[in-house]
C-alpha cells in the first residue's frame, strides 16, 4: 500500500512526503499501529508543532531561521542525531545522512510532526529508541551494553536489531524458534535487509512492562571465540592495556618482554570480573527513575554481586522468587535442548526485567553462538581448554540461581550474602 492510495492515511501522517519508507512488510504494519500512538503523543508533539508552525509575519526571515534552528536542536535532543532534522539552509527539506556521511535531501513540509520525525529516524535506524519514544510508550527502553545505535523501534511490540552479514545470529534465532528454548528468547519475526545492511525484527521484551528495571548479565566462563585467540604473537599494545588496569598483573617474563598474547589479555579481563570464577558477570542495570549503572565489569565477589542484586530487585521477595523459578525453568530447558547441545554459546546474555510485580528473564545476543565442529561435544560446565569448545554457560546459570536464592532477606548473619 502506497501513500498515494490512501488519502485518509495521508491526512493523518502526511505520507505523500514520506516516499523513502523501505518496501518491507511489517509483522505489525507500521502506519496503522502508529495512528494510535499518535493520539497519545499529542502533548509531546505540540512543542515541535509550535516550533514548526510559529506565529510570525510572512517574510520574517530572521524568525524563520531561528525557528528552524530550534527544530535542529530539538531533533538532536530527541534522537541523539541530526539525521532527520530541518536545517536553516534546507528550505524546508529534511536531510537524511547516509552511512557514508553524505546528506541526502528529502522534501518534507515544514509541518512535519514529532511522530513523523520519529518515524523517519526509526526507519533509518539512526539511534536507539529516543527519549520522545519512551515518553509515548508504556515501557522504558534502555540499552545497557553492546554497540550504541544497534536498535530501533519497528512498531508496537517489535524492534529492529542490527545484525552482521555473516547471518550467525539470524540463523541462531531461526533454529531457536523450533527448539525447546523458543519461550526463553525474544520472538523472532524475520530478517530484514535495508540499504545494504542486515537487521533482525524481533519482540521488544520491554513492551508489556511499565516502568521496568532491567539487568544485562553476560553468561559463561569464556566470553571469546577460540578463533579470536589463535594468534600467539605477543603484543605490546595489549600489555599496555593490562598494566593500565592493573600494574601488578604482569609476570616477570611479561615485565621483561612488555608484551602479551591475545589469549592472555582476554583471560586477564575475565578474571577482573566474576566471569572466570562464577561464570557470569553483571554488565549493567537500570531501575526506574535512575540513570543506568554500567561500570560493573570489575564486580567480582559474590557478596558484592548479592548486594547489587538486592538493589536491582528493590529487595522484593515476590520478584526474586519469580526470577529463581524462571531461571530454574531455563536450566531445565537448556539441558533438554538440541540447539544448546549442538552449539557453543559465547558472549550471550540473560536479560532480566521486572516492574516490582512481574518478572522475566530471557536469553539474548547470539552473534557468537556457533555450531560445534563435527565430533565435538560439550556439557557447558567443564573447564575450557583450547579446542574443547566448552563455554561454562551452565556453570554461570547454576551460580546465578544460587546468588538469587541467597539474595533474599537475610535472616541470620551466617548467610553467604
> Considering the chain, what is the average pLDDT of its residues?
74
Residue whose grid cell is 536489531: 161
H or E element: which one contains 344? Answer: strand 343-346
Residue 84 pLDDT > 50, yes or no? no
| Weakest-pLDDT range from 128-137, 379-388, 402-411 | 128-137
State residue 51's pLDDT score.
41
| Mean per-residue pLDDT, 33-39 | 44
Instruction: Give 208's pLDDT tier (boundaries 50, 70, 90).
Output: confident
Residue whose grid cell is 499518535: 38
What are the pLDDT digits (tens) for 284-324? 999 988 888 888 878 999 999 999 999 999 989 999 999 99
What is the C-alpha separation between 384 and 231, in angstroms, rounded?
Answer: 18
| Mean per-residue pLDDT, 16-31 | 36
Q: How far is CA 318 from CA 321, 359, 408, in A?
A: 5, 9, 10
Q: How far is CA 70 from CA 52, 290, 327, in A?
A: 9, 28, 48
Q: Three cell numbers at 61?
A: 526571515
Picking from 324, 293, 283, the residue whose alpha carbon sits closest to that of residue 408 is 324
Distinct helix (H) and strand (E) counts, the chain: 15, 13
Q: How far is CA 117 from the centre of its chain?
A: 22
Query: Three-class SS of residue 179?
Result: coil
Residue 70 pLDDT > 60, yes or no? no
Instruction: Give 142's pLDDT tier (boundaries 50, 70, 90).
Output: low
Strands 158-163 and 188-194 turn out to be: unpaired
Instruction: Give 138's pLDDT tier (boundaries 50, 70, 90).
Output: very low
Given a contact cutoff of 8 angstroms between Cβ atoms, the answer to whether 173 and 202 are in contact is yes
State residue 149's pLDDT score.
56
Instruction: Give 392's pLDDT tier (boundaries 50, 70, 90).
Output: very high
| Mean per-residue pLDDT, 335-339 | 98
Start-end of H helices in 199-316? 236-245, 252-257, 262-272, 275-278, 302-313
| Mean per-residue pLDDT, 229-252 | 95
Return the higher-pLDDT residue of 219 and 56.
Answer: 219
Q: What is the pTM of this model?
A: 0.67
H or E element: which one contains 171? Answer: helix 168-176
- CA R_g for the chain: 25
- With vertex at residue 55, the alpha carbon angle to CA 51 and CA 59, rounded to the nearest 5 degrees, is 105
Percentage of the chain with pLDDT > 70?
62
Query: Three-class SS of residue 4?
Result: helix
Taken in order 169, 171, 177, 180, the sign of the CA dihedral is negative
CB < 8 Å & 24+ apart, contacts of 324-329: 324/401, 324/404, 324/405, 326/359, 326/360, 326/361, 327/361, 327/397, 327/400, 327/401, 327/404, 328/401, 329/184
Amino acid at each position: 500500500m502506497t501513500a498515494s492510495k490512501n488519502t485518509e492515511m495521508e491526512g493523518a501522517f502526511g505520507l505523500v512526503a514520506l516516499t523513502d519508507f523501505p518496501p518491507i512488510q511489517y509483522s505489525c504494519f507500521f502506519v496503522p499501529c502508529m495512528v494510535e500512538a499518535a493520539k497519545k503523543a499529542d502533548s509531546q508533539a505540540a512543542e515541535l508543532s509550535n516550533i514548526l508552525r510559529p506565529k510570525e509575519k510572512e517574510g520574517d526571515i530572521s524568525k524563520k531561521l531561528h525557528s528552524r534552528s530550534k527544530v535542529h536542536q530539538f531533533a538532536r535532543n530527541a534522537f541523539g542525531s541530526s539525521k532527520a532534522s530541518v536545517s536553516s539552509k534546507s528550505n524546508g527539506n529534511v536531510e537524511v545522512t547516509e552511512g557514508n556521511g553524505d546528506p541526502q535531501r528529502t522534501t518534507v513540509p515544514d509541518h512535519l510532526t514529532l511522530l513523523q520525525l520519529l518515524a523517519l529516524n526509526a526507519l533509518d535506524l539512526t539511534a536507539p529508541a529516543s527519549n520522545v519514544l519512551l515518553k509515548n510508550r508504556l515501557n522504558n527502553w534502555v540499552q545497557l551494553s553492546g554497540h550504541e545505535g544497534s536498535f530501533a523501534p519497528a512498531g508496537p511490540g517489535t524492534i529492529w536489531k542490527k545484525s552482521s552479514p555473516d547471518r550467525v545470529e539470524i540463523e541462531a534465532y531461526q533454529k531457536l524458534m523450533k527448539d525447546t528454548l523458543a519461550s526463553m528468547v525474544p520472538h523472532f519475526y524475520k530478517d530484514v535487509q535495508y540499504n545494504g545492511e542486515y537487521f533482525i525484527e524481533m519482540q521488544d521484551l520491554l513492551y508489556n512492562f511499565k516502568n521496568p528495571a532491567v539487568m544485562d548479565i553476560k553468561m559463561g566462563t569464556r566470553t571469546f571465540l577460540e578463533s579470536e585467540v589463535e594468534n600467539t604473537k605477543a603484543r605490546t599494545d595489549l600489555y599496555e592495556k593490562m598494566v593500565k588496569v592493573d600494574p601488578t598483573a604482569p609476570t616477570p617474563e611479561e615485565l621483561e618482554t612488555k608484551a602479551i598474547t591475545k589469549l592472555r589479555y582476554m583471560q586477564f579481563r575475565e578474571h577482573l570480573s566474576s566471569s572466570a570464577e562464577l561464570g557470569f558477570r553483571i554488565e549493567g542495570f537500570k531501575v526506574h527513575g535512575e540513570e543506568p549503572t554500567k561500570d560493573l565489569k570489575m564486580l567480582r565477589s559474590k557478596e558484592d554481586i548479592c548486594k547489587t542484586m538486592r538493589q536491582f530487585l528493590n529487595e522484593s521477595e515476590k520478584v526474586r522468587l519469580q526470577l529463581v523459578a524462571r531461571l530454574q525453568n531455563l536450566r531445565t530447558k537448556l539441558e533438554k535442548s538440541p540447539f544448546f547441545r549442538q552449539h557453543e554459546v559465547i558472549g550471550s546474555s540473560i536479560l532480566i526485567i521486572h516492574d516490582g510485580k512481574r518478572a522475566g528473564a530471557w536469553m539474548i545476543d547470539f552473534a557468537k553462538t556457533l555450531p560445534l565442529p563435527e565430533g565435538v561435544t560439550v556439557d557447558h560446565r567443564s573447564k575450557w581448554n583450547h579446542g574443547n569448545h566448552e563455554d561454562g554457560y551452565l556453570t554461570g546459570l547454576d551460580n546465578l540461581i544460587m546468588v538469587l536464592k541467597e539474595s533474599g532477606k537475610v535472616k541470620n548473619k551466617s548467610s553467604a550474602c
